[in-house]
Amino acid sequence: MSANKVIIFGVTGVQGASVARALLTNPKFSVWGVTRNPASKSSQEMEKLGVNLIKGDLGDASSYADALKGAAGVFLNVNFWAHYKGNNADEARDIEMAQSNAAVDACKAAGVGLVVYSALESVGKFPIPHFDAKAEVVKYIKAQGVPATILYSSYYFTNLLSAKLEERGDEIVLKLPLPDDTVIPAFNPNQIGLFARLAFENPQEWTGKDMFACGENVRVDKIASVLSDLSSRKYVTMGVSRDDFLALPGEMDQELWLNYRAFVDGLMSRNPEESRKLVPEVQDFTTWVKADKDAVAKFGLRS
């Protein structure tokens, strides 16, 4: 096994690129990334940073299996949304699971030292296919006895960059259809690499353990008040009641609604202070929104 070779699936994506950037700060790692298209703009950007590209497709394990041989580590994140067309959540879940399990098999066959798997949990009360796929893969990893760290992520702060804003008189309504007191366990996904790097740097400590990445359990009304405090605008929430929210299916994407319902029902639990003990620089909402150029521009924040 090459002591320091780490291979990242999804290296051109949000999570994978974060892992690549974090590992590249430590010269002991040789950083490799799987992409379907090494010629794409995002692949080329990663190559310029120092990532060695591997042409491979998660839908065909034979395309990347040889490249895994001798790797000390693999970061595995499989994108549910690539297979989701709005009405086929169960099919997308099954494809995500099949692709993920095939990658786990390939890691096992190649003798990879540590798999860091980007996970979500099943919430139990109702199915959420894009959470459940990942929870099933966690079971598979454990059943296969593959050395792994399960890295549970949270809602991306960056999702707010695509939230709709509606001007209403001198107020701006943040179009998040959630009750004001909804708590969203969230983080800056561009920091997930700091968590993954910790595991790859200390595999003896992290093999067989769970890790949670969260920057803040942020309330919906706090998001609006922070945006107001940091700008000269008055941001308000939609003022949705729990009953309004429960009546929404049919009016919004079902998979996203289920994800929101996990927050509304308080079914996703994260402890940001524990995350901060691992990665002291993990950002809370205020720190993220002030530092993110796109957020500053979108929300008209004072510089």
Ligand X SMILES: NC(=O)c1ccc[n+]([C@@H]2O[C@H](COP(=O)([O-])OP(=O)(O)OC[C@H]3O[C@@H](n4cnc5c(N)ncnc54)[C@H](OP(=O)(O)O)[C@@H]3O)[C@@H](O)[C@H]2O)c1
216-219 and 210-212 strand pairing: unpaired
176 secondary structure, DSSP code: -
Binding span for ligand X by CB under 6 A among 13-21, 24-32, 177-185, 240-248: 13-21
What is the Cα–Cα distance from 22 to 25, expressed in whole angstroms?
6
Asked if 13 interacts with ligand X (CB under 6 A), we say: yes
What x/- string results for residues 41 through 80 when contact with ligand X is judged by CB under 6 A? --x-------------xxx-----------------x-xx
Q: Which of 11-19, 121-129, 175-183, 285-293 is the region at the interface with ligand X (rule: CB under 6 A)?
A: 11-19
Single residue of 5, 6, 7, 10 touching ligand X by CB under 6 A? 10
DSSP β-ladder status, 234-236 and 171-174: parallel
Q: Count the Cβ atoms, other than its own, within 10 Å of residue 79.
A: 18
Minimum Å distance from CB 96 to ligand X? 7
Residue found by looking up tokens 């997308």 in the block: 92
- Give CA–CA dist 12/18, Å, rounded: 9
The answer to whether 283 contacts ligand X (rule: CB under 6 A) is no
Could you say which residues in the range 259-278 bind ligand X, by CB under 6 A?
A: none
Sequence-distant (≥ 6) Cβ neighbours of residue 36 within 8 angstroms: 55, 56, 57
- Asked if 35 interacts with ligand X (CB under 6 A), we say yes
Phi, psi for 127 (deg, rounded to 5)? -75, 140
Query: Cβ-closest residue to ligand X?
Result: 13
Of 24, 82, 173, 296, the residue at the interface with ligand X (CB under 6 A) is: 82
Please report, as residue ranges, which positions from 119 to 158 form the binding site for ligand X (by CB under 6 A).
Answer: 120, 130, 153, 155-156
Interface with ligand X, residue 12, by CB under 6 A: yes
Pairing state of beta strands 52-55 and 165-168?
unpaired
Closest to 139 in 3D by CA, of 100, 89, 174: 100
Site for ligand X in 151-210 (CB under 6 A): 153, 155-156, 159
Q: Can you tell me whether residue 200 is helix, strand or coil?
A: helix
Residues in touch with ligand X (CB under 6 A): 10-16, 34-37, 40, 43, 57-59, 77, 79-82, 120, 130, 153, 155-156, 159
